[in-house]
Amino acid sequence: MALWRGSAYAGFLALAVGCVLLLEPQLPGSALRSLWSSLQLAPAPPGPGSPEGRLAAAWDALIVRPARRWRRVAVGVNACVDVVLSGVKLLEALGLSPGNGKDHTILHSRNDLEEAFIHFMGKGVAAERFFSDKEAFHDIAQIASELPGAQHYVGGNAALIGQKFAANSDLKVFPAVTSLGLNEQELLFLSQAASGPHSSLSSWNGVPDVGMVSDILFWILKEHGRSKSRASDLTRIHFHTLVYHILATVDGHWANQLAAVAAGARVAGTQACATETIDASRVSLRAPREFMTSHSEAGSRIVIDPSRPVAEWHREGVSFHFTPVLVCKDPVRTVGLGDAISAEGLFYSEARPHY
């Protein structure tokens, strides 16, 4: 039906232009071009048949609750107030004008803040930096908090993850760590600090390479994860970057990984767009369609099909589950997104008891 409808529209369009040429043969070319542009069909918005629509539908089919539900969840104790506002408006309110971007490991002044903001905004990535001057920091925070349009939310990893689980679990604090949630900066920092794989990289060049990320995740779990000879309980890492997620787990300790990684990616799209479900017209699929699973050894090449969006591979007792993210085109709220991703993925994970 859609094919016939498109053909009918095209035929009507040709007939209309032909009639104009017959009746007004001297019509200027610019007028004809304007007429043609106004009559052209607009591209159809993404729908259920688009890659985004098919991927969202596949997620909905994959995401199922784990067989063993969480009864108690322990998170760390930290909380703050997040102030959400336009970074450009804050710089203007601070009397700063756009200049050259530059990364600073520690911020000492307003100018350092401006340079770091421009540096990371140009790369399209988030960043966290320590501000050394207490008084200057409080002045900036006060100005930001009082700007028109500034919004205030509960912040802090523990508070946000606790909110996610509060309706389903009792909250109890203990020191054992079985699972980590990391973004691309945190993952690379960790490898650099301990001379791990690809630690010679100063920063990621655009989208983090899947094979490199996989190598670092494998190294963390093999060298610092749970084993008979090591006092560590770490068996799970949920890596998230803007366009894809990877869930890496030590075999035998976790189940329901397909649902977990899909749920974490799905909430990235819904929370950023402030929608209850994925709206295919408001998101875009930007993840690499094919990639190598490793660069430290002979990895395999994987091609992603939106109808089967979770790819799985294994390496020496570690399982990897990859899924693209449907990136919100016009995000409404990104603050706390990483914590929401980690919490959602963990909620759909099933921990297997080991006695």
Which run of H or of E encompasses 39?
Answer: helix 29-39
Q: In sequence order, what are the residues at sequence separation of 6 or more whose Cβ sits closer than 8 angstroms to the Cβ of residue 49? A: none
Q: Which pLDDT belongs to residue 178? A: 87
**Burial label, 335 (beta-carbon count in 10 A; 0-12, 13-18, 19+):** middle
Q: In sequence order, what are the residues at sequence separation of 6 or more whose Cβ sits closer than 8 angstroms to the Cβ of residue 109? A: 133, 136
Q: Which pLDDT belongs to residue 332? A: 86
Q: Which pLDDT belongs to residue 76? A: 61
Low-confidence ranges of the chain (pLDDT < 70): 1-48, 73-79, 154-172, 174-176, 354-355
Q: Which pLDDT belongs to residue 12? A: 42
Q: Record the pTM.
A: 0.67
Q: Which two tokens stand for residue 319?
A: 């399982």
Question: Are the C-beta atoms of residues 268 and 352 closer than 8 Å to each other?
Answer: no
**Rounded (5°) CA angle 114-120-122:** 100
Q: Helices (DSSP H) in 94-205: which residue ranges?
A: 110-123, 134-146, 157-166, 184-193
Question: Are the C-beta atoms of residues 152 and 145 closer than 8 Å to each other?
Answer: yes
The catalytic residue among 112, 215, 279, 339 is 339
Question: In percent, how much of the chain has pLDDT > 70?
Answer: 77
pLDDT tens per residue, range 127-166: 888 899 999 999 999 999 899 988 877 666 666 666 666 5
Strands 350-351 and 254-255: antiparallel
**Burial label, 228 (beta-carbon count in 10 A; 0-12, 13-18, 19+):** exposed
* Residue count (the chain): 355
**339 catalytic per annotation:** yes
